[in-house]
Amino acid sequence: MSRIGRVERTTKETKVFVEIDLDGTGVSDISTGVGFYDHMLDQLAKHGLFDLTVRTEGDLHIDSHHTMEDTALALGAAFREALGDKAGIRRFADAKVPLDEALAEVTVDVSGRPYLVHTEPESMAPVIGRDYDTTMTRHIFESFVAQARVALHIHVPYGRNAHHIVECQFKAFARALRFACERDPRVSGVPSTKGAL
């Protein structure tokens, strides 16, 4: 049974198409108009082993906020759709990923309850590349969590380079998400004593 989610989201600010295959091989086709964000979504696909297509047209003449936010909302909704009833998945997972001087620790619970805890070093460079506002990293994860309905804890205890600090978060997020939604042959039905997630 395929686990593919497709979402189209259109507002006055953005037009977004996302397709994700949770049982892919890490193939990605990403275009948001925000170069560093494209790079981070490529990391999500590659290290999560998700096949991921993202096409976003946004009001970049204003700034990149709406483009990144709406893409993350659509991605979360597509992920939730792809998971289906969540039967047989592992549910919980964590990952630690270093990138040179930076380290990210990510824990996820595919719980049905959206919650984000996010900490990263303060005083980062405000922009990566031409147009990636580093204050948006938390908001991207907030937007994903709201639609995917997962509990996500991200902690970066140290790091100096803004590029490294953000990239190790996306890589660790990808790994944790991959392991949490993988099927476990020993799990029968939904992995919850409530019988639902």
Quick one: what percent of the chain has pLDDT higher than 70? 96
pLDDT digits (tens, 9 = 90+) for 25-71: 999 999 999 999 999 999 999 999 999 999 999 999 999 999 999 99
Bridge-based pairing of strands 92-99 and 102-109 is: antiparallel
Indicate the residue type of 20: I
- Rounded CA separation 98/96 (Å): 7
pLDDT digits (tens, 9 = 90+) for 84-106: 999 899 999 999 999 999 999 99
What does the CA dihedral 22, 26, 29, 35 come to, rounded to 10 degrees? 110
Contacts of 29 (CB under 8 A, 6+ apart): 52, 53, 54
Bridge-based pairing of strands 151-158 and 115-119 is: parallel
- The pLDDT of residue 166 is above 70: yes
On whether the CB atoms of residues 180 and 89 are closer than 8 A, the answer is: yes
- The pLDDT of residue 193 is above 70: no
Q: What is the mean pLDDT of residues 96-119?
A: 97
Q: What is the mean pLDDT of residues 19-23?
A: 98
pLDDT of residue 186: 82
How many residues would you count in the chain? Answer: 197
pLDDT of residue 184: 86
- The pLDDT of residue 171 is above 80: yes
Indicate the residue type of 108: V
The Cα diameter of the chain in Å comes to 51
pLDDT of residue 123: 87
- Could you tell me the CATH superfamily of domain 4-181? Imidazole glycerol phosphate dehydratase; domain 1 (3.30.230.40)
Quote the DSSP letter at residue 89.
Answer: B
pLDDT of residue 127: 96
- Rounded CA separation 4/152 (Å): 21
- The pLDDT of residue 192 is above 80: no
pLDDT of residue 191: 67
Nearest to 114 by CA among 141, 86, 91, 82: 141
Quick one: what percent of the chain has pLDDT higher than 90? 89
Structure tokens at 54: 């993202």
